[in-house]
C-alpha cells in the first residue's frame, strides 16, 4: 500500500502573515503510529522576527490606541470564531495528539468561553485613586500592559492552555508570541487563521511552533520580551527560569502534578469511583490535574478497588476520532516508554497490579496503554512518586484524617486535590490542611474561566484564569499630581 502524502499546509503566523519557517518536521498520528503532516519549525531567526513584530505592534497606534472596550470586542469575536470552528479544531487536535474527539470537542467549547470571558473583562479592570495624606496632592494608579509576552505551552490541551494566557494578555493590551509544542501543534497553527480573521492588527499575536532548545529558548530569553507565561514540565521550567535571567521577564509557571484523591469510608463510593476514573483516565491520564494518587480509607479499600477495577476494564479503548471511544492512545512514543518503564520499576518495588499494566491487545500500531491500577504500600513506589502523565492510578490505604493529610502532602507537587466524604466539616478541615492550589470536594476536574488555576510547590508559580490573572499582564504606574 502506498504511504499517504503528508499534509503540508501548516504555517507559522508572524506579523500578520502565514510563513513557511526555515525548517520543518513530521508530526505523528498517535493512533496509527505514523507521520501524517509536515509542520514548520521556527528557527532562532523566525523567533526574532516574531518578537520584533510583537514589539513594534505594542506601540503601534493600530493596537496601542484601541480602547479596552475595543480590545474586548476583538477577544469576544475570537471566542465566537473558535466556537464556530470548533468541529475542525477538535478534529485536528484529535488527529495530532490522539486525544479522543469527545474530549477535544468539549474542551474547545470551553476555550471559546475563556476568550469571551476575558473579552468581557477587558474594560472592567480598573486602576485606583489613592487617598494620600497630603492635601495638595492627587495620587492614582494606572494599570498598563506589561509589554511583549512569550507564551509557551505543552502538547496536551494546547488551545486551552493558550487561551488562559492570550485572553488576559490581550485584554490588558499586551502583544504575544505564542509557542505551540512541537508535539501536536496542528490545532494552534489552525487557530492562527481565526486570530487573523478576528482582525487583530499584524504583530499583536504571533504563533510559532518549533523545538524547545532553539525556538523555546530563543523566545523566553529574548531581550524584547517582558513577560513569560509557561506551562510544561518542572525540568523545562528550570531552563525557562534560567533563560529569563537574560531579560528579567516577569514569569508565571504552570507545571506538573501528582494530585491526591482522598476517599473516606462515608463517601458515596459509586459516585467517588466515577470521579476517580474520570480524574485519572480522561485524556489517557495526560492531564496536569490527573488524580494519579488515590488514598482510600482502609475499611473500604477492597470494596472501592473492586468497583474501580471493574470500571477501568469496561473503558472502551479505540480510535480517538470515533465518538464512541472512551480512551485513546498516548501522544508520543516518549510518553509510552516512560510509562512502561515506571510501571515495571513499580512492580519490582512491590506494587501489586490490580488491572491493566501493559499495552492493550489489538492496538499494537498506535501508542496505546491500558487503564492501569496499582496497589502501593506508600508514596515511595515510583508510580506514586513520579508524574507519569499516563493512565496509571496508584492506590494507597490510610487510616484517619491526620494520616491521609500527611500522605497526600508528601509530594513536591501541589496542583490539585480531591476529597470525597459526606462529612462537610471534615471536608473543611482537609481543605485547610491540603497543600494544593485547587481542592475539589465530592467532584473532580471542574473548571471555569472565573476560577483561578495553579499550584503550590513544584506545581508552579502564579495563577491563570479568573479576573485577577489580568493583573499579571500589567505594570502599575503610580501618578502624583500637585494640585
Ligand atoms: P515540556 O516541559 O517538555 O514542554 C513544554 C513546552 O516547553 C514545549 O513547547 C517545549 O517545546 C518547550 N521547551 C522545551 N525546552 C525549552 C527550553 N529550553 N526553553 C523554552 N521552552 C522549552 O512539557 P510536555 O512534556 O510537552 O508537557 C507535559 C508537562 O506539562 C507535564 O509535566 C504536565 O503536568 C505539564 N502541564 C501543566 C499544566 C498546568 O496547568 N499546571 C497543564 C498541562 C500540562
pLDDT digits (tens, 9 = 90+) for 123-138: 999 999 999 999 999 9
Report how far residue 336's alpha carbon sits from residue 368's, in angstroms, rounded to the nearest whole number. 8
Among the options 254, 297, 326, 387, which is catalytic?
Answer: 254
Is the pLDDT at 1 greater than 80, yes or no? no
Report how far residue 135's alpha carbon sits from residue 161's, in angstroms, rounded to the nearest whole number. 48
**Cα(262) to centroid of ligand 1, in Å?**
27
Is the pLDDT at 311 greater than 60, yes or no? yes
Q: What is the mean pLDDT of residues 156-164?
A: 96
Taking only the tens place, the pLDDT of each residue in 350-383 is 999 999 999 999 998 899 999 999 999 999 999 9
Question: DSSP class of residue 5?
Answer: P
Strands 372-375 and 260-263: unpaired
Q: Is the CB of 240 under 6 A from ligand 1?
A: yes
Index of the ligand 1 atom closest to the CA of residue 157: 43
Q: Is the CB of 13 under 6 A from ligand 1?
A: no
Residue reference for cell 483516565: 281
Index of the ligand 1 atom closest to the CA of residue 232: 30
Residue reference for cell 504552570: 254
Q: Is the CB of 214 under 6 A from ligand 1?
A: no
**Hey, whose CA ends up nearest to atom 9 of ligand 1?**
181
Q: Is the CB of 256 under 6 A from ligand 1?
A: yes
Q: Is the CB of 456 under 6 A from ligand 1?
A: no
Report how far residue 334's alpha carbon sits from residue 356's, in angstroms, rounded to the nearest whole number. 19
Q: Is the CB of 257 under 6 A from ligand 1?
A: yes
Amino acid 233: pLDDT: 96
Query: For residue 205, what pLDDT band results from cuts at 50, 70 and 90?
Result: very high
Question: DSSP class of residue 462?
Answer: S
**Cα(349) to centroid of ligand 1, in Å?**
29
**Cα(30) to centroid of ligand 1, in Å?**
18
Half-sphere exposure of 273 (CA within 13 A, CB side): 18
Query: For residue 22, what pLDDT band results from cuts at 50, 70 and 90?
Result: confident
Q: Is the CB of 232 under 6 A from ligand 1?
A: yes
**Hey, whose CA ends up nearest to atom 22 of ligand 1?**
212
Report how far residue 366's alpha carbon sits from residue 36's, in angstroms, rounded to the nearest whole number. 13
Question: DSSP class of residue 212?
Answer: I
DSSP structure string for 137-170: EEEEEEEEE--EEEEE--STTHHHHHHHHHHHHH
Taking only the tens place, the pLDDT of each residue in 265-293 is 999 999 999 999 999 999 999 999 999 99
Q: First CA to last CA across the chain, in angstroms? A: 82
C-alpha cell at 93: 487536535
Index of the ligand 1 atom closest to the CA of residue 288: 34
Q: Is the CB of 390 under 6 A from ligand 1?
A: no
Index of the ligand 1 atom closest to the CA of residue 180: 9
Taking only the tens place, the pLDDT of each residue in 436-469 is 999 999 999 999 999 999 999 999 999 999 999 9
Amino acid 3: pLDDT: 65
Q: Is the CB of 437 under 6 A from ligand 1?
A: no
What pTM was estimated for this model as a whole?
0.96
SS3 track for 360-411: CCCCCCCCCCCCEEEECCCCCCHHHHCCCCCCEEEEEEECCHHHHHHHHHCC
Q: What is the mean pLDDT of residues 299-323?
A: 98
Q: Which runs of consecutive H residues, i.e. helices, occur in 253-332?
A: 269-281, 301-314
Cα-Cα-Cα-Cα dihedral sign, residues 166, 172, 176, 181: negative
**Cα(347) to centroid of ligand 1, in Å?**
28
Contacts for 334 with CB less than 8 Å, ≥ 6 apart? none
Index of the ligand 1 atom closest to the CA of residue 464: 40
Index of the ligand 1 atom closest to the CA of residue 332: 25
Report how far residue 94's alpha carbon sits from residue 440's, in angstroms, rounded to the nearest whole number. 28
Report how far residue 119's alpha carbon sits from residue 174's, in angstroms, rounded to the nearest whole number. 14
Report how far residue 37's alpha carbon sits from residue 25's, in angstroms, rounded to the nearest whole number. 8
Structural contact between residues 121 and 171, judged by C-beta atoms closer than 8 angstroms: yes
- Neighbour tally for 337: CB within 10 Å: 12
**Cα(236) to centroid of ligand 1, in Å?**
6
Percentage with pLDDT > 90 across the chain:
98
Question: DSSP class of residue 172?
Answer: H
Q: Which residues pair with 130 in a beta bridge?
A: 139
Nearest to 208 by CA among 332, 396, 22, 446: 22
Q: Which residues pair with 372 in a beta bridge?
A: 392
**What is this model's ipTM?**
0.96
Annotated active-site residue 126? The verdict is: no
Strands 34-41 and 128-130: unpaired
Amino acid 408: pLDDT: 98
**Cα(250) to centroid of ligand 1, in Å?**
18
Taking only the tens place, the pLDDT of each residue in 62-121 is 999 999 999 999 999 999 999 999 999 999 999 999 999 999 999 999 999 999 999 999
Chain mean pLDDT for the chain: 97
Report how far residue 438's alpha carbon sits from residue 182's, in angstroms, rounded to the nearest whole number. 29
Q: What is the mean pLDDT of residues 245-250?
A: 97
Report how far residue 148's alpha carbon sits from residue 54's, in angstroms, rounded to the nearest whole number. 6
Amino acid 21: pLDDT: 86
**Cα(162) to centroid of ligand 1, in Å?**
12
**Hey, whose CA ends up nearest to atom 43 of ligand 1?**
288
Q: Is the CB of 185 under 6 A from ligand 1?
A: no
Alpha-carbon Rg for the chain in angstroms = 23
Query: For residue 201, what pLDDT band results from cuts at 50, 70 and 90?
Result: very high
Amino acid at each position: 500500500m502506498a504511504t499517504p502524502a503528508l499534509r503540508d499546509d501548516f504555517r507559522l503566523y508572524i506579523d500578520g502573515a502565514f510563513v513557511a519557517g526555515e525548517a520543518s518536521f513530521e508530526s505523528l498520528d498517535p493512533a496509527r503510529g505514523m507521520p501524517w503532516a509536515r509542520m514548520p519549525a521556527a528557527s532562532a531567526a523566525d523567533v526574532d522576527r516574531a518578537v520584533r513584530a510583537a514589539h513594534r505592534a505594542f506601540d503601534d497606534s493600530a493596537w496601542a490606541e484601541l480602547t479596552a472596550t475595543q480590545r474586548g470586542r476583538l477577544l469576544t469575536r475570537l471566542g465566537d470564531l473558535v466556537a464556530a470552528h470548533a468541529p475542525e479544531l477538535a478534529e485536528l487536535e484529535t488527529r495530532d495528539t490522539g486525544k479522543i474527539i469527545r474530549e477535544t470537542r468539549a474542551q474547545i467549547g470551553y476555550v471559546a468561553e475563556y476568550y469571551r470571558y476575558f473579552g468581557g473583562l477587558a474594560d472592567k479592570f480598573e486602576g485606583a485613586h489613592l487617598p494620600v495624606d497630603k492635601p495638595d496632592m492627587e495620587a492614582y494608579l494606572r494599570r498598563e500592559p506589561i509589554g511583549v509576552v512569550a507564551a509557551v505551552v505543552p502538547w496536551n490541551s494546547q488551545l486551552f492552555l493558550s487561551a488562559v494566557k492570550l485572553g488576559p494578555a490581550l485584554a490588558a493590551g499586551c502583544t504575544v508570541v505564542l509557542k505551540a509544542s512541537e508535539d501536536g501543534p496542528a490545532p494552534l497553527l489552525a487557530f492562527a487563521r481565526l486570530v487573523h480573521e478576528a482582525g487583530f492588527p499584524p504583530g499583536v499575536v504571533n504563533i510559532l511552533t518549533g523545538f524547545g532548545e532553539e525556538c523555546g529558548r530563543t523566545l523566553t530569553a529574548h531581550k524584547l520580551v517582558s513577560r513569560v507565561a509557561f506551562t510544561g514540565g518542572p525540568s523545562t521550567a528550570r531552563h525557562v527560569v534560567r533563560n529569563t535571567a537574560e531579560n528579567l521577564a516577569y514569569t508565571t509557571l504552570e507545571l506538573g502534578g501528582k494530585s491526591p484523591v482522598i476517599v473516606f469510608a462515608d463517601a458515596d463510593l459509586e459516585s467517588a469511583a466515577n470521579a476517580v476514573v474520570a480524574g485519572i483516565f480522561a485524556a489517557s491520564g495526560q492531564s496536569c490535574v490527573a488524580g494519579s494518587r488515590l488514598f482510600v480509607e482502609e475499611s473500604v479499600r477492597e470494596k472501592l478497588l473492586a468497583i474501580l477495577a471493574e470500571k477501568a476494564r469496561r473503558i472502551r479503548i479505540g480510535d480517538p476520532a470515533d465518538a464512541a471511544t472512551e480512551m485513546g492512545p498516548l501522544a508520543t512514543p516518549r510518553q509510552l516508554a516512560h510509562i512502561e518503564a515506571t510501571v515495571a520499576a513499580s512492580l519490582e518495588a512491590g506494587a501489586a497490579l490490580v488491572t491493566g499494566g501493559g499495552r492493550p491487545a489489538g492496538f499494537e500500531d498506535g501508542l496505546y496503554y491500558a487503564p492501569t491500577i496499582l496497589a502501593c504500600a506508600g508514596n515511595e513506589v515510583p508510580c506514586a512518586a513520579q508524574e507519569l502523565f499516563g493512565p496509571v492510578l496508584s492506590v494507597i490505604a490510610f487510616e484517619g484524617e491526620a494520616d491521609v493529610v500527611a500522605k497526600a502532602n508528601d509530594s513536591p507537587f501541589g496542583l490539585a486535590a480531591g476529597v470525597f466524604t459526606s462529612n462537610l466539616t471534615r471536608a473543611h478541615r482537609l481543605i485547610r490542611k491540603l497543600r494544593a492550589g485547587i481542592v475539589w470536594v465530592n467532584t473532580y476536574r471542574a473548571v471555569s474561566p472565573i476560577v483561578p488555576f495553579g499550584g503550590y510547590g513544584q506545581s508552579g508559580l502564579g495563577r491563570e484564569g479568573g479576573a485577577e490573572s489580568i493583573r499579571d499582564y500589567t505594570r502599575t504606574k503610580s501618578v502624583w499630581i500637585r494640585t
